[in-house]
Amino acid sequence: MKKTIKKTVIIYAVCMAFAFAAGAHAAPAATENAYIGYEDSAIGSEKVCLGGVPFGIKLYSGDLTVVGFTAVDTAEGRKNPAYDAGIRENDIIVSVNGTKVSSAEELMKICNSSEGNEIAVVCRRGKTERTFTLKPALSDDDGKYKTGMWVKDSTSGIGTLTYVVPETMTFAGLGHCVCNARTGEAENVVAGVVSAVEITGVEKGYEGDPGELVGKFTGGKIGTLTANTDEGVFGVFSELPPHVDGEELVPVVPCGKEGEAYIRCTLRDNEPDLYSINITSVEEGEETHKNYTIEVTDERLLAETGGIVQGMSGSPIIQEGNLIGAVTHVFVNDPTKGFGISIENMFDGMPRKAA
């Protein structure tokens, strides 16, 4: 039974509730990895700005994935050129008329400029590439040529910031990777944008039904996402998110111990607060990212959220005034319990300069 619960937890995790972006958005330029600015780990000798606040990310993987179809209203009736040509959901569009495409905006421009002439669309389905020929249909609604398919060029969602390295403004959050919904593997990062977020509500968690923090993006870009790893997402801020104090620093220690601790997170009042937990077991080592088993004991948090909910992934774990890790997973069958990763493992996953 224990193994079954853990397997379920991995699937649902305290994962951010990500939604695909099907509209036309220009992807930012690809960025090189940012580094923490010193060769050795910060463990034991450095202090960081404490997170516990929500942040939004938009991650561009470089893939343009077909996620659905919709008929185009034309003078000759309703048409769906892409579906009729044989394109299907989860196909990845590689090129159109010999031109590589990686965003919805690029696809729309090519289709509209075709003026209804045939276009050759190369798609990757599994490990095989196929070419489909179709004629974009002229829409009665807006006078533009369309293929009739919805495509996803990015993944966006809300999570919780764990820490910021003050010397470089580099940051870490989530404590686990953002996964591709189709493959279950970590999304590749070609480029990524970080934005401020406002929490607008909380969906309380119950046994078998993980809850969720509900929020919205509140502004433009405040940073860049540079890496998506098993230990979390990493990037660089151009400005600190609201409620992160760049002057108030906390020490970090490699790993905590069993006993009383706190998590820092933000609920609907949009002010980060500390909530008590109990660390019931500790497993050290790089082989696992579930270093802590934790149980929420704070009556306020239990009343508000039922325990750990989606969107709290990355919430810092503090013990005896030290940052020791971050919340990563919730037990689906008991939302009062979950897992956390040690700060040592998060630091190890953070991109850094070669020695």
Q: Name the CA radius of gyration of the chain, rounded.
A: 22
- The rounded distance, in Å, linking the Cα atoms of 171 and 226 is 10
DSSP string, 98-140: TEE--SHHHHHHHHHHTTT--EEEEEEETTEEEEEEE-PEEPT
Q: Which residue has the tokens 């300069």?
A: 353
Closest of 273, 323, 317 to residue 295, by C-alpha = 317
Catalogue the E-assigned strands of 135-254. 137-138, 145-146, 149-152, 155-165, 170-173, 191-203, 212-229, 232-237, 249-251
Amino acid at position 171, single letter: F
Amino acid at position 256, single letter: G
Backbone angles phi, psi at 32, to 5 degrees: -80, 155
- The rounded distance, in Å, linking the Cα atoms of 175 and 150 is 31
Torsion of CA 110, 115, 116, 122, to 10 degrees: -20
How far does the chain reach from its first CA to its final CA, in angstroms? 45
How crowded is residue 333: how many other Cβ atoms within 10 Å of its Cβ?
A: 13
- The rounded distance, in Å, linking the Cα atoms of 171 and 161 is 8
Query: How far are the Cα atoms of 64, 83, 88, 192, 244 from residue 146, in angstroms, in the given order?
Result: 16, 12, 16, 27, 45
- The rounded distance, in Å, linking the Cα atoms of 75 and 167 is 61
- Catalytic amino acids? 176, 298, 313
